[in-house]
Structure 1
């Protein structure tokens, strides 16, 4: 592995492990080195819509949700999507949407870096439950990490080294794509963690109101 890639790979490993621990437990890093107990992501959390008209993961037979024009993915389930121009303001998205987006992106980018350079969103199987979704994220993260380990220093500066068809990859040096993937995992991971916290807090509020 080239030394220029090392800090980016270390950051990716940190972000991926942090999100996996936050989703699976039994403990997660609190940020100050202390372990906090956390249970595995539930289907209720996975599909929770905290506001009206969320984008989410749905059965293909049910069709897309509000303001979506299609369900991306293969198989029984799909993720709400729309052709350009996308709806504005952007729809609020569920944990299911955000997690499947991350897993799909990692898996397809890995293929377009060190695989067959053929996979698209139409080929990707969307998970219809929390357990499968967490496993899919781990699979995608491993595939992307292995793809990174396969490259040399020259690849980092090569424009279009990754041929991922759903972004600007073909116009960017590969090192910029590596950075971009890291920030996707970091910021979506933080969003998913916050949604878990809000779901837990909502449950406490409902219980408190019921007892009062």
Structure 2
């Protein structure tokens, strides 16, 4: 299938961002930026949940309740992600677990509300308590979103509300804006995750 020229650069950016993040999380190597591969150890569970400062938001056991400044734990199951009706200011520092779980949830949710059955409900989403499971779930969610993108007809690119994802401004945006926004989510949270991995090696052990 030929990718439409309007979608192609965004899809190329998306592929680069997801692959860069996955290599930074799971290894065995990642591009240093100049083409030189750098060895990357797989992320441990301790690193996944590491809280570098007091008051971090994270993914945590539901029985322990939400963290400092959070009002609830998003989702279902034994573990959930810290959240509040309105995020506090300044924003809390968040763990790798929080950032990766947030990305996975938005990818799955947006895919469901764009090209899926539109049944995704954040209240039923289950967070991953371990690093390996979280990385694999992100990998799967990234593939699901990519498939949804390729399923959109070019004639719908400029139609408002093509995505009905209820946890953002998607319904008020055109398709390519939805794609751009999800890309920047991966780019900026991916950068934050990379920095946290660097800090963990030096401070967290």
Instruction: Sort the TM-score into its range (normalised by shorter chain).
Output: over 0.9
Runs of 4+ off more than 4 Å: none
Give the paired residue count: 203
- 1:57 matched to which residue of 2? 59
How far does the alpha carbon of each residue in 1:125-159 deviate from its partner, in whole angstroms, 9 at most, with x for none?
Answer: 10000001101110110010000010121222111
Give distance in 1, aligned partners of 2:31 and 2:184: 19
Q: In 2, are the aligned partners of 1:2 and 1:152 still within 8 Å (CA)? A: no
TM-score (norm 2): 0.97
TM-score (norm 1): 0.94
- 1:166 matched to which residue of 2? 167
Higher-Rg member (1/2) = 1
Alignment of 1:127-206 (within 5 A): 127-202=128-203
Deviation for aligned residue 1:86: 2.0
How far does the alpha carbon of each residue in 1:79-118 deviate from its partner, in whole angstroms, 9 at most, with x for none?
Answer: 00001x3211111100000000000000110000111112
- 1:76 matched to which residue of 2? 78
Give distance in 2, aligned partners of 1:137 and 1:41: 14
Q: Secondary structure of the residue that 2:81 maps to in structure 1? A: strand
Aligned-residue CA RMSD (Å): 1.0
Deviation for aligned residue 1:74: 1.5
Q: Secondary structure of the residue that 1:90 maps to in structure 2? A: coil
How far does the alpha carbon of each residue in 1:40-72 deviate from its partner, in whole angstroms, 9 at most, with x for none?
Answer: 011111010010010000111111111101000
> Aligned match of 1:17 in 16, 19, 39?
19
Alignment of 1:24-63 (within 5 A): 24-63=26-65
Give distance in 1, aligned partners of 2:136 and 2:193: 15
